Structure formats: C-alpha cells, structure tokens
Structure 1
Amino acid sequence: MSGGPPAPQPTSILPAKSWLHFVAGGLGGMCGAIVTSPFDVVKTRLQSSLFREKHASIGMVGGGVATLPKRPGLLWNFVETGHIIRDIYRDESPRALFKGLGPTLVGVIPARSINFFAYGNGKQIIANYLNNGQENSWVHLLAAANAGIITGTATNPIWVVKTRLQLSASERNRPTSAANFFGGSWTMIKQIMREEGIRGFYKGLSASYLGVTEGTIQWVLYERLKKISQATEGKGGALEWVGMLGSAGTAKCVASLITYPHEVLRTRLRQPRVNGIVKYTGLLQTLKLVIAEEGARSLYGGLSAHLMRVVPNAAVMYSIYEGILSWGRQQDRKRANAL
C-alpha cells in the first residue's frame, strides 16, 4: 500500500509466549486463594440468607443477653469479620476457615489460567485485527469481557460446589484433612446431581455473566494504572514492585465496590434447597426478593470480608503473573542475543 503509514515496529519488550499466560495466571490464582481463604469463607456466609437467619439471634448467653450487637457502618463490618473468623476458629476448628479450599483451588487454577490466557492473548489478537497492532482501553475492555464470559461458563459448576461446601457448618462436613476437601467435594457433586440434575451446576451463571463487568473494569483499570506506574521504571526494583502491587490492589478494590451486589445475588442463587424448596430462582427474582425482605443494604453483605480477601489476593496474583511473564521475556532476550 504505497503512500500509507509505515507498519508499526515491534516494541522493545518482547511479547511473552502464549502458554506463559496460562501458567502464570494459574500459579498466581492458586497462591492468592490459599493466602486469603478464611476471608472467602466469611464472605460467603455473610452473603447467604441461610447464615443470616441462623445467626439472627447469635451471641445470646445465659438469660439471652446479646454479646455481639449489630452496628451500622463499614468500620463495624470489618470488626464483625474478625468476630466471625474467631467464632469459626473456636466453634468449628481452624480447618473450617479453609472450607471449600479444595474446590476453590480446583476452580481457581483453571479459571485464572483460562482468564489470563484468554485476556493476554486476546488483547494481542484484537489489537492486531482491529487497531493496527496498538493497545488501548477499548482493546483491553473487549479482551477482558471475552475472557470473563469464557471463564464464567467453563468454571461455574466448580463455584457452585464450593459455595455449597462453605455454607455447610455441620460436623459431618467439617474437613479434617487435605484429602477430605476433595472427598467432600465429590459427596456434594453427587448430592447436587441427585437432587437438581445438571442444571444445578449452572445456578448463578446469569449473575456470573453480570459479574463479567467486574473483571472488565479491573483489567482496564489495571492496565491504565500499570501504564502510569511504569514511570517508576529505572528508579529501583522496589518502586516498580510497589507500583505494580498498588495498581493490582486498587483496580480490584474499585471494580469490587462498583459491582459487588452481583456477588450476593450469585451466592443466593447457588444456595441449596431448604426443605425441598428453592427460594431464589432467577436473577431479577432474587434481586427483588432480597431488597423486599432485607433491604438494599443486604446487597453489600460480606463486603468487608470480600475486600479483605480480594485486594491482597489481586496483589499476590498479579505480582506472580507479571513476574513469570517478565522471566519469559528475559529468556527470550537471552535466546535472541545468543543467535
């Protein structure tokens, strides 16, 4: 094409191999999930109506004096999170703080692998075909939305099993060893199949699709903040590290605050039947019922535990992801220089 603009030249940073996105995402997701598992258990219970009903009169001692009064305000929510962690540790055992970790890891590793693989490679494909090889916020948005839909569809059954396990506080379902995480998961899988069929594994999928907006906002904001923080490059490894961690944590925090109600709706949709009755049957029905029975504030139930989990989780996950990609680029440079 004579007279046209010159073709874009490759950047100085070599693109990481596509498989590295898969490995880095899975490893980062695994480490983050293990570190923050107790907050995930608390968050799930606070989102659930079953837990709220069971503990409506909790803290009654002796003649019925409440020891844990309900107080409004976000700061009290963080205190409440600490109380719940203490109660689970005391009443159910320390291992109960890691309930659902088995299916969480089974879900997180492929979910993060798929998501980071689809996003990391998808943005390159979208940029090459739609934007002359250049990345921008629209490219990041399309890539993130596509990655979220693929990931949500593939992993929804795993999250249903995880939610059911975390809502179970009975002695017989209490995990006593790492192997029992997976044994409990298999028992729950058979129960869901027997009582609800295949459709039971896809409960909450509509809310998961709604949650694609969270991942999209997170990726777009992360890319933007990371670009801003790149101004620290060359000023020392510590500054670069802090900039990357801050970008990941801030992006996840903002995205979570904007889209959090979908988390509550998804948890309600995944709750088990009570006396053979399904209380929450659809996304809009669940939204209307929750607001009517509990008020709009309940759509932010478990927010403090959620933020205490996802912000450090994102920092751990993205630091490992970027570290592995950086290692891959260094290896590519060494091979290129050796030729």
Structure 2
Amino acid sequence: MSDASASASKRPVPPAKSWQHFVAGGLGAMCGAIVTSPFDVVKTRLQSSLFREKHSFVARAGPAAYTNFLYNFVETGHIIRDIYREESPRALFKGLGPTLVAAVPARSIIFFTYGNGKPLIANHFNNGQENTWVHLSAAALSGVVTGTVTNPIWVVKTRLQLETSVGGARSALGGSLGAIKSIMRDEGIRGFYKGLSASYLGVTEGTIQWVLYERFKRATSGTELEWLGMMGSAGAAKCIATLITYPHEVIRTRLRQPMVDGVVKYTGLLQTLRLVVAEEGARQLYGGLSAHLLRVIPNAAVMFSIYEAVLRYS
C-alpha cells in the first residue's frame, strides 16, 4: 500500500456535517409522524389482541375478504372512520406526543449514527471505500443504539394508542405522564423495556432499508429525476424491508400490551410468536400491515427527502 493510500485509509471522519445528520433526521421524522399519525393508531390496534374483534372489518366481511388484499386497505378506512365517530378526531392522534418525543430524537440518532458511521467504518475497515457491507454495518449499529435509547418512549406510545377513552379528552402530556406512572407502579423499570428483544430483531428492517436505499438512489443520481428518484427509492426500500420483517412489529406490540386482570399474557419473543400462531394463525403476524404500509411509505419518502435536502443545502 502506498503512503497516500495508507494516509487516506486512516484519515479521520470529517466532523463538519455531524450536526446536519442529527437535525435533518429529526426534522424529517417530525413532518412524517404528524402527517401519518392516524395510520399509526390503526396499525397498533390491528397488531394488538385487545382490539382484534372490535376493529375486525375483515371478520364482518366474511371469509372471502381474506383472499383479497384490497380488503385490508378498506379495513383501514373503516377503522379510521369508527375511531373518528366513536372516540373523536383527536383519538386519531393518540400517542402522537410520545411519537414525536421518540421519533424526533430516534431518527436524529439513527441518521447521525448512520451518516457518521459510514465514513468511520469505511476509513477503519475498508480503506476509506463505501460498499454494501459498510452500509449494512452502519445501519445495524444505528438500529441497536436507537432501539436501546428510545424503547421506553415507544412503550408509552403503544399503551396510549391502546386506550379507548371516549373523546380522547386527555392531553398528550397528561396521557403520557399517566401512562408512565401506571407502568412504573404496576411493572417497574423493566416495564419500559418490554419489546426490546423484538426491537433488536427489527434492526434487520432498518438495515435492509438503508442498503436498498443506497443502491436504488444511485440509479437516478445526477439526473433530472434525482429528487423524485430519491423519494421513490426511500418509499420502495421501506416497502420491501417492511414486507420482509413485519412480524416483529406485531410481536413487539403484543409484548408492550398492558396487563389484563393482573395477568401478563405475552412474556417473551419466542413465547409470543408461538402463542400468536397457535391462537390466531400465522396470518395474524401481518395484522395491521395495510395501515402500516400507508403510514411508513410516505413517511419514508418525506423523511429521506428532507434529510437529503438539509445535507445538501445547509
């Protein structure tokens, strides 16, 4: 290896854009979360066993519905309508407070760790060159760090979205504080880390998404369709990653459910997987998928386009 090559492979990660990754990720997450909040509420309820009968439009529509994927999107529309009518429009934004509190720093951490992790890993382990393995390693690192830090906030968000109080009268702050007190009283500190094992399993989704996004966006890089291509790349990468890894979302939601009559039904990753399949069938591992796709695909497109814009023009 030449002196120039050795110097290049050991050059430090430039700090100039570190803060930009943090700010860009948080700004994109905030915009996406607000716009797609109703779909997030529907997704959480469909994933939960507590709402399976109440919100099962497919069950009312008959067995034929199970063979038609479009019925799942119709189901999402019906649930949004029912929540709007029976619980108030504000109920469609239940959990938005904790979502923003979690999503903004979570995405900031993800983009910060990934954006700075790529050159760090490349410089130290791949002679300063980025490739798929560098992207994969940076994505996995960012997922583990973010999941560990933000898990308590996601637990609170899930508990709020599973509430059925008519009118959605409690404020986001009041509801969040109430949920925090309830978890601490009934379950202790460990209650805030329910579903963490499923979150670690879900790191695979973020890893797949980042690797696909990096590959897809190269196709339109430098062309007139570059921005449209980036948005399409973000949405397509998220869609594919979600379809591959979605069951972990259902398992995570079940693990974060509150106790019913003092009993914790779901206690571990494998136990939850076996119980859901035994009681409800493997199909239920994809419960809420339609609402989830309606939320995460536009969310990803908005978030990544804002992220790229901040990096380029700040």
Query: Same fold by TM-score, threshold 0.5 exceeded?
Result: yes
Task: Find the residue that maps to 2:210 and give its secondary structure.
Answer: helix
Q: Distance in 2 between matches of 1:247 and 1:211?
A: 20
- Render the CA deviation track for 1:247-280: whole Å, top value 9, x for unaligned: 1000000000000000000000000000000000
Q: Distance in 2 between matches of 1:277 and 1:3?
A: 65
Tell me if the contact between 2:86 and 2:166 (Cα under 8 Å) persists in the aligned partners. no
Q: What percentage of residue pairs aligned between the two structures are identical?
A: 74
1:321 paired residue among 294, 307, 310: 307
Q: CA deviation at 1:140?
A: 0.2
Tell me if the contact between 1:269 and 1:280 (Cα under 8 Å) persists in the aligned partners. yes
2:296 paired residue among 310, 323, 336: 310
Q: Unpaired runs of 5+ in structure 1?
A: 60-65, 329-339
Q: How does 1:100-179 map to 2 (within 5 A)?
A: 100-171=95-166, 174-175=168-169
Q: Distance in 2 between matches of 1:327 and 1:2?
A: 36
Task: Name the count of aligned residue pairs.
Answer: 308
Tell me if the contact between 1:16 and 1:325 (Cα under 8 Å) persists in the aligned partners. no
Task: Find the residue that maps to 1:274 and give its secondary structure.
Answer: coil
Is it true that 1:94 corresponds to 2:89 in the alignment? yes
Other-structure match for 2:212 = 221
Task: Find the residue that maps to 2:300 and give its secondary structure.
Answer: helix
Q: How does 1:8-87 map to 2 (within 5 A)?
A: 17-55=17-55, 68-69=61-62, 71-72=65-66, 73-87=68-82
- Render the CA deviation track for 1:183-222: whole Å, top value 9, x for unaligned: 1000100000000000000000000000000000000100
Tell me if the contact between 1:175 and 1:181 (Cα under 8 Å) persists in the aligned partners. no
Is it true that 1:187 corresponds to 2:178 in the alignment? yes
Q: Distance in 2 between matches of 1:193 and 1:7?
A: 52
TM normalised by structure 1 equals 0.87
2:279 paired residue among 284, 290, 293: 293
Other-structure match for 1:211 = 202
Q: CA deviation at 1:54?
A: 4.0
Q: CA deviation at 1:80?
A: 0.5
Q: Unpaired runs of 5+ in structure 2?
A: none
Task: Find the residue that maps to 1:229 and give its secondary structure.
Answer: coil
Tell me if the contact between 2:88 and 2:166 (Cα under 8 Å) persists in the aligned partners. no
TM normalised by structure 2 equals 0.93
How big is the alpha-carbon RMSD for the aligned residues of Structure 1 and Structure 2?
2.0
Q: Distance in 2 between matches of 1:222 and 1:2?
A: 33
Tell me if the contact between 1:21 and 1:116 (Cα under 8 Å) persists in the aligned partners. yes
Q: Distance in 1 between matches of 2:203 and 2:76?
A: 26
Q: CA deviation at 1:169?
A: 1.0
Task: Detail structure 1 runs of 4+ shifted over 3 Å in the superposition.
Answer: 1-9, 53-56, 66-70
Task: Find the residue that maps to 1:230 and give its secondary structure.
Answer: coil
Other-structure match for 2:265 = 279
Tell me if the contact between 1:39 and 1:305 (Cα under 8 Å) persists in the aligned partners. yes
Q: CA deviation at 1:105?
A: 0.3
